[in-house]
Every structure is written in structure tokens, then in C-alpha cells.
Amino acid sequence: MFSRVVVAGGSGFLGTSVTKELAKRGIPYVSVSRRDGVDFMNLEDTTEILREHECDALINCAAFIGGLEFVRQHVAEVLFANSIMSLNLMEAARRVGVKAFMNTLANCSYPARARELKEDEWWDGPLHESVLAYGSTKKTRWVQSWAYHQQFGFNTINLLLPNMYGPHDYFDVVRSHALGALIRKFVEAHEHDEPTVEVWGDGSPIREWLYVEDAAEVCVHALELSPGIEPINIGIGRGISIRDLAELVQRIVGYQGSIVYDQSKPNGAPSKIMNVERMRERLGWSPRTDFKDGIRATVEWYRQHRTKILGAETVEENSQPYPSILSGHE
């Protein structure tokens, strides 16, 4: 359907799986990301790279994000970087004549009071303070798609994704989301015969999790949609408490020690469960990966790649993710 698909952020967590899915389907693609030397903070550079690759579709997986503690430490950078990158990518895509632009949004952009997340209620209240900066940038992505459709007839597809897990995730205890951090903690505690594993918060928040390869599959599948600006929830429609999740990871890893909950750490929003009726109706699609099977696969991937992961973290600790952001430099 498309001559070439550009995956922005194609070397990241979701982007890596999206490029694999495109390759599996024989769809021509190119991955562009900061690791390739592409600066999405610069509109002219972004426009030039899209023009060079002559793409007619773009899947936007680019993000500067981590878990609750990472966002707390980098809240201004998270707001600034994600806002500018998203604005530049869509404007550059419009300039070069991209026919279909896919926004990957996040369910943290739903109101804090929402329990079952329904698309028609996406604007019905403020966001939880813990995700206000990042979630607001996802709202801005959608508003930009609406504005560009109104003025330019620009075509977008907007998918609202839950927390994801799987290979190539962050497993750093600060940068990762809850599931990646739990896998790392339990694997290391099991191997070092540690008596306890600490879990942040009181274990009560309920979260929905989507295997990253399922997310990639639906991103590519949704390119076949007739473009429309209305958001579509993507997920399994079920959640699990952090306490139950920790105990499940504990069993899969084989750890025999105890779990200790650090209630001084933030819980985040109480519950996030997606209503996926629109997904089933519009896409005729449902995730395939069983949750336990997905966790087992992720644990195995982490064990196989841990040495490389830890080495990459050491390099990242000694560098600034975006040296020019809020640094006072031109």
C-alpha cells in the first residue's frame, strides 16, 4: 500500500518491534532515530531526512520517557523534548507529502479519575500529576493531528496504547516501567540469593500490559485503516494489580524470597484499564500473546542480553540524553 514507511524512533523499544513487523510483511521501511544521528528537535533536519527517504507513511515511535521516578527527575525535559519532537515530525511529514501519519499515544493521557478508559471520555478531566508532563504531550499530538486535518487535510491514525513490556524494554529500576523493573529485580535477587525484593508503592495500582510485538503488529495493521483523527484504544481490556504482577514475576523467575513494599514511593494513578470495543470493531484485531507467556519470553530475553543491557546503561549514565535541552546553550 505504501512505497516506504519511516519508523521514527525505530531503534527504541516499540520501534524495534515495528521494524521487525514491517520486514516480516515485506513492507519497505527505514528506521530513523537519535541513535542514527537524526535530531527530531530540529525541524529542518527532520524535514530533510524524510525528504531524503521519500516516504509516504510514517509511524511515530519516538519518545523520551521512563517510569514514574525517571519522569519526576526529568519532568521539564520530558515535557519539552516530547512536545518539540512530535510537533516537528508531523510538520516535516506534512511538508514532504506523507500520506498517512501514525501517532502512538499513551493511556496515561486519560483523566486521573477514570477507571475504565473509554475514548469518548478522554477529555473528561485532568491528568494524574505523576504523568501530567508526558501525558500532556500525547494530548498535544492529537490536537496537532486535528488542527492539521482541519487546515491541510492531513491524514493521521491515532492509537492509544497501554503500558508495554517485552524484548528491548528498559530494565533499569528508574528508567523502566514497573514490569521491566520487576523482572530485573527478581532475576538479580534469584541469582544472588537475596532474601527480599523491594517493590515501589503499596502494590494496589491496577495496570494493563500489552506485549510489545502485539503492539507492533497492530501499528502496522492499522496502516490499512482509512485515516481518521479519532483515537482508538489498543489493549487486552484487562488489568492486574502491581502486587499480583510482582507475585507472578516471582513465580516465573523462580525466586523464593520475600516481597517488601516501599510505600514511600509513588503509586501513580489507581487504575488504568482500556475499553477496547472500538479496536475490535474498527480493526477486527485482538492481541495474541498470553500474558504469562509474554513475561516468560521477556525474562528469558533479559537473561540472555543482561550483560549488554548493563553495559549500555553505563554509557548512558555518562552522557546527557539531550545535551541542548534546558541547558542554556544555543
Q: Which residues are designated catalytic?
A: 134
Chain centroid, CA 10 distance in Å = 12
Distance, in Å, from the CA atom of 196 to the CA atom of 259, rounded to the nearest integer, reads 6
Distance, in Å, from the CA atom of 259 to the CA atom of 246, rounded to the nearest integer, reads 8
Radius of gyration of the chain (CA): 19
Contacts of 74 (CB under 8 A, 6+ apart): 64, 66, 321
Residues 1 and 28 sit within 8 Å (Cβ to Cβ): no
Distance, in Å, from the CA atom of 324 to the CA atom of 330, rounded to the nearest integer, reads 7
Contacts of 38 (CB under 8 A, 6+ apart): 32, 45, 46, 49
Q: Which of 272, 243, 274, 271 is nearest to 259 (CA)?
A: 243
Distance, in Å, from the CA atom of 306 to the CA atom of 283, rounded to the nearest integer, reads 36
Distances in Å between the alpha carbon of 140 and those of 1, 107, 214?
A: 28, 14, 25
Q: Give the alpha-carbon dihedral of 73, 79, 80, 82, to 10 degrees.
A: 110
165: β partners:
211
Distance, in Å, from the CA atom of 227 to the CA atom of 225, rounded to the nearest integer, reads 6
Distance, in Å, from the CA atom of 88 to the CA atom of 131, rounded to the nearest integer, reads 22
